[in-house]
Amino acid sequence: MTALSIIQTAAAWVAIPQPTAAFSATDAQTIQLRSLLNDEGLELASWPDHAWTKLTKEKTFTTVAASIQTGAVPSDFARFCDNSAWDRTVDRPLWGPMSPQQWQQEKAGPTFTSMYYGFRLRGNDFLMTPTPTAGDTIAYEYVSNYHVYASGDTTPTKSSFTADSDTSVFDETLLARGVRWRFLRAKGLDYSQEYQSWIELLQRLASRDGGMPKLSASRNYPWTRLSPFIPDSGFGA
């Protein structure tokens, strides 16, 4: 469903005329609807309780012998996926992200070496300490802020809707419901039922996104798969 179709669906739900165009329109109500659609997309993309699988990406880069690592932060970076940063060359995790206090404390202290690198993001710079060896491959996963497909694209390339033909990684019904309750709120009308309908659908979609691992109540689940695959009991049966 395109951005225009989502806006038309939301307009029909709140019983207002459906626009024939959205991003070329000049009337105040249609401008408001397209703004609310972008508000909805931004909120879903930055939803704090869930990293959407369609927004999760991997970034790899090669270290340089300097504190600031060039080319380490992609243009669509929104936030790190926790505990996913690894030095693949030496098969060790990176420690971090470090807090500003931890970083400054370390930089103020005596120079030291460590088997494990620490890292932090400051501005658009990916920083590592101690100064790494050049040539290591670093990989981490992150959440992208690109959730909009331009017409004909197979990957999202935009962080907001800018054309009637744009589509999104998010469920169209969820987007339309989001526009509906936001429109009612903007007009000073009761939107409690519409908001409840939206949040229930959002929670269902988030809970099913990407599946869930098998968990055990009797022991800690291993952080890597067991190998070789040996049964817990029943040997020789």
**How do residues 124-139 score in pLDDT, each as one tens digit?**
999 999 999 999 999 9
Same domain, 57 and 127: yes
Confidence of residue 223 (pLDDT cuts 50, 70, 90): low
Domain end call among 144, 168, 184: 144
Q: Under the phi-then-psi rule, with left for phi > 0, alpha for psi from -120 to 50, and beta for the rest, what region is 102? A: alpha
Digit-coded pLDDT (tens) for 123-177? 999 999 999 999 999 999 999 999 999 988 899 999 999 999 999 999 999 999 9
pTM: 0.82
Q: Tell me which residue range forms the domain holding 22.
A: 3-46+147-207
pLDDT mean across residues, the chain: 89
- Which residue do the tokens 């909120």 mark? 43
Q: Check: CB of residue 69 under 8 Å from CB of residue 122.
A: no
In angstroms, rounded to a whole number, what is the distance separating the alpha carbons of residues 35 and 41?
10
| Residue 166 domain flag | yes
